[in-house]
Structure 1
Amino acid sequence: MKFYRKIPDFSLKSCLATERRGLAVTKKELKETQIALEASHKVIAGLTEIGLSMSKKIEKMKVKKQLVKANHVECHQKFQARIHVAEDSMQAQHLLIEALVDEKDSLLQTIHGLQEANNAPAPFDDDWEEEPEEEPEEEEIEDIPLGEGEIDDE
């Protein structure tokens, strides 16, 4: 008696079936990979679109910031010019008031001199005293430094 080893029966039919199952699994994996790849491309395209949109918004904000800064500088300069005009006007008014007070004193002296020359009674009591002239405290308006209120770039 001979002992024979039994060799597994691999028929062509069973090999083909195994190959088909393997190909079906590979085909399914390929399809899933393609779907995942398409989804990745869509995500990348979406993120790229968002990035471009954000870049445009940032550029618009930079332009707006420059316009606001230029407007701030212009307003500051106009405000400073108005302050200087007001200061000049106040100084001119002060000089005019001083000139009027001097003129009044001169007129009063002339009137007093004429009254003495004509022996006329003085229109005021001897107790009349002029109020001492008060020097008004001048409030200086400080220049606002251009750097205050600026928007920080960061």
Structure 2
Amino acid sequence: MQYTIGEISKRLDMQPSTLRYYDKEGLMPNVKRTNGGIRIFDDSDYELLTLIECLKRTGMSLKDIKVFIDWTLEGDSSIDKRLELIRKQRDAVLAQMEKLNETLGILDYKCWYYETAQKAGTCKIHDTLSADDIPQELKKAVSKLKGHQ
């Protein structure tokens, strides 16, 4: 199937200017053009744009995404390099997830803390609670927060 820049930008929820930028920067090496110079996208372009957006969400720079795309154009000779880059980015995502899970734990603890205070009508309730009163799943977060109520 073929798409105009407007159609594919809607499908991807992406600004047409972003698509033009990606094309200009060489991230879209196979985009075809009409005789009048209008970009025409196909399903393989859609798949590539989906991958680009995925890699961007992982924190990969456009420069590294371009390198990855260039390696795909080289064919099988670059499989090892592509695999190494994807593994490195995967490791970075796992590290981000670990930090986000830690952050979520702290937020969960703070919700419990303020819900408990709200029920008691005061934050001073926590002066009378022991460590055993804190739900087990929140204890790890408590150690990160000592003194920051």
Bigger fraction of residues in helix? 2
More strand by proportion, 1 or 2? 2
Question: Which structure has the higher relative contact order (CA within 8 Å, separation 6+)?
Answer: 1
TM-score, normalised by the number of residues in structure 2: 0.31
TM-score, structure 1 as length reference: 0.30
Which has the higher Rg, Structure 1 or Structure 2? 1
